[in-house]
Structure 1
Amino acid sequence: MSSPLSPYLHTLPADAVGLTPPPRFTYPFYYRPDPLALAAAADLQNHLEVQTEWKHDFGTPGGKSSGGRGKMFGVLVVRTDGGELGYLAAYSGKLADSNHLPGFVPPVFDLLDPEGFYRAGEVSVHELTLEIEALRSSEDFQAAERDYTETVTRLTAELAEERQRVKDGKQRRKAQRVAASAWPLVDQHELAIRLKEESIGESYGLKRMKKAVDIHVDRKQKTLDEYRTKLTHLIAHRADRSATLQARIFDQYTFLDAAGATRSLGSIFKETIFGTPPAGAGECAAPKLLQYAYRNDLHPVALAEFWWGESPGSAIRKHGLFYPACRGKCEPILGHMLQGLPTDPNPLLENPGQHKVITTIYEDDTVLVINKPAELLSVPGKRIEDSVYSRVRSAYPDATGPLIVHRLDMSTSGLLLLAKTKEAHKKLQQQFFKRSIKKRYVALLSGTVAGDSGTIDLPLRGDLEDRPRQIVCTTHGKAARSHWEVIARNAATTLVHFRPVTGRTHQLRVHAAHPDGLNASIVGDDLYGQAADRLYLHAAYLEFLHPTSREAIRCSSPAPFAPAAAPTEYGQ
């Protein structure tokens, strides 16, 4: 970093001189970095490459996992009361096992402070954990568990044997009565008395045995319950102590807004669907930067956050690329902190597809195939009504079908299949469920791709802390498979065909960008790569059986960014 104006406020590099500050602060959840923030980020990145004051393994940027850990960094361009511009730097969480590294703003609350209450509380909780583990592994506790289990197993087996003996005796006595049916009445009467006494004796014997078993098992149970009760008490005590510590932490994380009003982490998240803050809330770079600026009378001008190092195993982060603040952890906090600060409007409230035109590729009485332009929604969103569905519904008011058979991402262009009748919709959806519909996409990827073709199997699920992003998850993810084939290459990009087998949200975007996929994000992918004039992904080919005639319908649409004509037959 440049020579600091103070331990945390750094001078902007020379190439930032003459740049005009933006009129409003960065909207943190969807933005392109301002040139001033880009200059500050470049200065910080240069520092990360040359500094020797601390060590951290950032892994192999852009490659397969090597055991390193990438990190999110942030820069905040600020203006002093005297009108001078500079920038602050921060990292998310801790770095090099520290919350305090030279040149980076301190955390909002330092959990690692050896003199702080958290360390003492952590030790207290850990002591209870050790006590719990010691009780669980103690020879007396394990002996009581073994003794109880063995006793129950043995006596249950003995009781079962006795029940079978009583049952056998009942059958034997029944057979004796049948065999004695021809005896004199006096002899039958004597036999009946003897058999009844025998039955009563066996019945009372079984009852006495069951009572004795219950008493014996109960003694073993009481001995074991003494240990289990103590264990339950220790676990509950640890939970209470941990909850108390956590609540105290939430109260210590207090965040300022531009007017100087403060709110605690707990109160901020109490109003969200989470109820309580998720792990790591308040430790991201953006809240750290704004908090330091507010506390030190520095006026925020522009923000930018970038990833440095190896991508994490599930989420996609590319080395050196810029990312918005996360929704789950940061949105509630920044929603408070940006109060009173003039901020760029939310671009997601604007309708980029407003003036885009839908063209028809195929149409008859039951089916419609259209060419969807990029940035037009397939169906109405939470904030934007304009969509393929709303437009087609308006154009075909008598259509009885739900219309939309499948969807394309808002940023994806190309072929979209619609049904005008309920019957056609049902039959076409069945083809999607059976995966008999053939689809081919054209995508332009950033960088080069190893190999010429292949199949990607990476299960996907939504990122619960940063929707609408998807992450790779082998535990809870849904199966996602894509076939791919390279069509053309140059030094900077690779043109590929994708043939998705499944249809998960953002499937092709994640399969392209993930290190275990093609490790090359689609050009213009503002979620998993780098924004451009558009997302270079186009649904170019669609083949299905007509729901009425059962004739194969083949539709094609050349990608606007691929000059070569798209093949008209699937698989060519």
Structure 2
Amino acid sequence: MKHFQQFKTDISNINLPEKFTFPFYYEPHDLAIIAANELQEYLENQTDFQHDFGLQSDIKTVSIGKMFGVLVVKNKLQEIGYLAAFSGKFADHSLPEKFVPPVFNMRTEGSFYVKGEAELEEINQEISALKKDETYISLKKSVKKRIQHIEEDLAFQRKKMKIAKKERKIRKKNSGSILTESDFSILIKKLEQESFNDQFFYKELKAYYENDLQKKQAELAFFENKIASLKKERIQKSNYLQKTLFERYAFLNAKKEWKSLLDIFSDPMIKPPAGSGECAVPKLLQYAFLNDLEPICMAEFWWGISPNSEIRKHKNFYPACQSRCKPILTHMLQDLKMDENLLIESLTEHQEIPIIFEDDDLIVVNKPAEFLSVPGKEISDSVYSRMKEKYPEATGPLIVHRLDMSTSGILVLTKTKEANKILQSQFIKRTVKKRYVALLEGNLTEQKGTVKLPIRLDLDDRPKQLVDFENGKNAETYWEIIQIEDDITRVYFYPITGRTHQLRVHAAHKNGLNAPIVGDDLYGKKGKRLHLHAEFIEFLHPKTMEKMSFSVAPEF
């Protein structure tokens, strides 16, 4: 079994985990960390494949980082080893023996996919040849130029007709008092004839142009209809190829049950996301189940430069993705004993919510870290539910603004609908002043600055956000250093806008501060807590309109 790798490191003193890793939120087991370290050592020295991960500045190719995975397994001889895999494909399309094979190798010589790709490429070349045809290009230019000339000439004729009409009106008005009734009648008929002649000329000219243009457009249509027909054929072939591919992509679980992608993503209105089944973990589990290897634990890490949109840090561990992997892994891990899902484990039952101010209109609290502002899909305990229970007579929505579950600090609530409306208006108009304290990984080189990176939800990996200059919402953060100690930078954050995960993304993104917040389990390294605290807030009281400010120091 060439893909089963023995540990180089002595693991005899390490206890096996009792349950398999919950792949969507985890801290890597020691065995998985050792396996990852050994794989990373291989990546640093390998000569088996060519791929620019962006780690060497002298390489002049497109740099793309990649996710790698390790799966610690036990074989029939009760030996502990590990498997390795990578997501997607390498730049040179190679399949080094170090890694398990893909779930379905679509590029096997002579396969339906290779043939289908060749057919699509042939269509692409036909379309490209037609678009480059000199006659087609000449006709397009000619028709475009002719249309422009016709539009300009007809507009000119309409302008002339409008001026002539105005002049006829003046002649009619001025002649009414100086001409005899007989002469005036002759003039009226003459003016009417002029109007008729102008309109007749315009209609004839328009008809002539339309006829002339139709001849040229008919010649052009020969090319455009052919291109449209080829594009339609390309779509049909591509859809058929994709459907056949989804049928061939079948996944095994521990009970030796198979399911294709089409069965896993059973909603006929939703196609499996691009790249489904090409991630590292499904490849690893597939190989393990095919070869009767017992999964022990797993981990995935990023290797290389971060993408432009998502936040990925070199060598950091990451959970499996939600959109592509979760439906597949739900099938593959069926009936496998796994660690608890800490994402839905309520850690707040015995926590109190300190109230730092209260009057007839307001409640100001110090929200603990890992405490929801409002109820979630699977966790009902929240600041809102606690305050609703404590103040049953309160009217209105209570919540004015929110803090991320992982963020601690000052949260303002209202007891009345009127107070809520007034305070919400202040937040919308950005007149509320807020200051956060955070600890960042690493040393910042500047003392202060502003990060402007537009943000939107990562639809393929909720609840993460990503940077998107085309579809993202404007997001702006001012920051300044408080102090630097032991490669940890303490900063103030002043959010100008209030997007979801704004401070976390602006801190971690390579075009932001490139320094994740300590303990950030989404954009950095998981820790005991996210070191982000809403320390200060200032606003106008919704009834008295007096300036109010509150400050609570962080516990870190």
- Tell me the TM-score normalized by structure 2: 0.93
Letter in 1 for 2:437: V
1:182 deviates by 5.0
1:47 deviates by 1.9
Contact 2:481 2:490 in 1 (8 A): yes
1:215 equivalenced with 2:214 (yes/no): no
1:299-310 alignment runs, 5 A limit: 299-310=294-305
Report the equivalent of 1:236.
232
Q: Which residue of 493, 498, 503 maps to 2:498?
A: 503
CA distance in 2: counterparts of 1:256 and 1:83, whole angstroms: 22
Q: Which residue of 105, 108, 125 maps to 2:103?
A: 108
Q: Which residue of 13, 18, 23 maps to 1:23?
A: 18
Distance 1:175 1:519, change over 3 A: closer
1:47-62 alignment runs, 5 A limit: 47-60=42-55
- Alpha-carbon displacement from aligned partner over 1:415-468 (angstroms, at most 9, x marks no partner): 111111111111111221222212121212223222222222222111111111
- Alpha-carbon displacement from aligned partner over 1:492-525 (angstroms, at most 9, x marks no partner): 4222222221111111112222222222222211
CA distance in 2: counterparts of 1:132 and 1:72, whole angstroms: 36
Q: Which residue of 124, 141, 146 maps to 1:151?
A: 146
- Alpha-carbon displacement from aligned partner over 1:302-329 (angstroms, at most 9, x marks no partner): 1111112222222111222211000011
CA distance in 1: counterparts of 2:182 and 2:536, whole angstroms: 98
Q: Secondary structure at the match of 1:448?
A: coil
Report the equivalent of 2:260.
264
1:155 deviates by 3.5
Contact 1:61 1:310 in 2 (8 A): no
Contact 2:120 2:237 in 1 (8 A): yes
Distance 1:117 1:545, change over 3 A: same
Q: Secondary structure at the match of 2:72?
A: strand
Contact 2:49 2:92 in 1 (8 A): no
Distance 1:361 1:188, change over 3 A: closer
Contact 2:481 2:489 in 1 (8 A): yes
1:474 deviates by 1.7
| 39-48 vs 27-36, greater mean Cα deviation | 39-48
CA distance in 1: counterparts of 2:190 and 2:267, whole angstroms: 79
- Tell me the TM-score normalized by structure 1: 0.91
Q: Secondary structure at the match of 1:154?
A: helix
1:555 equivalenced with 2:550 (yes/no): yes
Q: Secondary structure at the match of 2:126?
A: helix
CA distance in 1: counterparts of 2:190 and 2:545, whole angstroms: 84
CA distance in 1: counterparts of 2:464 and 2:540, whole angstroms: 33
1:329 equivalenced with 2:324 (yes/no): yes
| 45-54 vs 493-502, greater mean Cα deviation | 45-54
1:414 deviates by 1.0
1:361 equivalenced with 2:356 (yes/no): yes
Give the number of aligned pairs. 553
Q: Which residue of 281, 284, 287 maps to 1:289?
A: 284
1:270 deviates by 3.5
1:335-414 alignment runs, 5 A limit: 335-414=330-409
1:75 deviates by 0.6
Q: Which residue of 459, 474, 478 maps to 1:479?
A: 474
1:404-483 alignment runs, 5 A limit: 404-483=399-478
1:280 equivalenced with 2:280 (yes/no): no
Question: Gaps spanning 5+ residues in structure 1: where?
Answer: 1-5, 562-572
Question: Gaps spanning 5+ residues in structure 2: where?
Answer: none
Contact 1:353 1:374 in 2 (8 A): no
CA distance in 2: counterparts of 1:170 and 1:499, whole angstroms: 66
CA distance in 1: counterparts of 2:495 and 2:172, whole angstroms: 77
| 197-206 vs 497-506, greater mean Cα deviation | 197-206
CA distance in 1: counterparts of 2:86 and 2:134, whole angstroms: 47
1:514 equivalenced with 2:514 (yes/no): no
CA distance in 2: counterparts of 1:548 and 1:301, whole angstroms: 60
Q: Secondary structure at the match of 1:236?
A: helix
CA distance in 2: counterparts of 1:459 and 1:174, whole angstroms: 60
CA distance in 2: counterparts of 1:366 and 1:244, whole angstroms: 62
Contact 1:442 1:559 in 2 (8 A): yes
Report the equivalent of 2:244.
248
CA distance in 2: counterparts of 1:188 and 1:512, whole angstroms: 85
Contact 1:15 1:39 in 2 (8 A): no
Distance 1:446 1:224, change over 3 A: same
Report the equivalent of 2:123.
128
1:356 deviates by 1.4
Contact 1:70 1:308 in 2 (8 A): yes
Contact 2:68 2:301 in 1 (8 A): yes
Distance 1:508 1:208, change over 3 A: closer
CA distance in 1: counterparts of 2:9 and 2:180, whole angstroms: 126
Distance 1:154 1:353, change over 3 A: same
Contact 1:353 1:377 in 2 (8 A): no
